[in-house]
Structure 1
Amino acid sequence: MTLASALKDAVRRASAREMQKTLRRLRRLQRQVKSLRLEARAQRRIVAGVERRFSRLKSRVLRTGVSAGPGRPLTPQSIRSLRERLGMPRIEFAKLVGVSPGSIFGWETGRTLPRGRSVARLRDVRKMGVRAARGKAGRRRARRRGGRKTTRKTARR
């Protein structure tokens, strides 16, 4: 073996060792990059889910808390308590407000929300007293008149 070939051989071995060290570092960095990418993807999914939930909650809050101008907002609970305070069934309350009984049910359950003129009418009804609201709805107290009582018919034997 000549001096030149011995030097070439030593340089080849040293360069191979350096290459192996460098490749090990490179592979370690590649694994770290891969794990960071996976983590970033998972975090993006989490953020997207949180944003979806936030938008749903935001729409629900907007749906259940309709602003009735100055004063308290119209919530499903406030509409129901207003109707109960006036002592009216949904049908009468609907006539008073000028909407269908189904609309009243939707408002009270929070499925739908009053819009436009209905909000203004609800605001007006809120200001009314019980007598005024009943009078406007055209409700009269049913008087019991003396007279014939309804009797149960009995079958002939």
Structure 2
Amino acid sequence: MAYVSDPAASPVVPHSRPTQRQRARRRAWLAVALLIAAPLAGCQTTAELEYERSQRLAAFEGLTLARFMGATGLTPSDAYPITGGKVFVFDGPTVVSTLPATQWTPAVSRAAACRLLISARVAPGVAPGTADSWIITGTSRTGPCQTVPI
């Protein structure tokens, strides 16, 4: 019995070059695969995005409120005193999300806004009452803050 590796004894016909139609089909499948894979290559999970946003907001800790306002363009809408300082409230834009109507349910809309709470203490040696007299000591946020420039 002859070994399969012996070309003279092998009943297998060597492969011919692919036809033009086969090459076109391979290119089409490759294009489809690339179209599917390309958007997935740069995806980030919601947790990763939230972590990055929290890190960017935490980077302002230790800076003055004036630097925060200059970097983001946001101004406080309210402030209230706490022991050792103040909490400044920044309200972001309202975001409306709507679920479309179906055959059995009406359309439902919901409005929400981002709210940033920035706690700050008085800077030593600076005249009180101005934005650069407050040092940021902590930050928190609620709501859809993806549109806020932080």
Identify, as 1 or 2, the structure richer in strand: 2
Higher-Rg structure is 1
Q: TM-score, normalised by structure 2?
A: 0.31
Identify, as 1 or 2, the structure richer in helix: 1
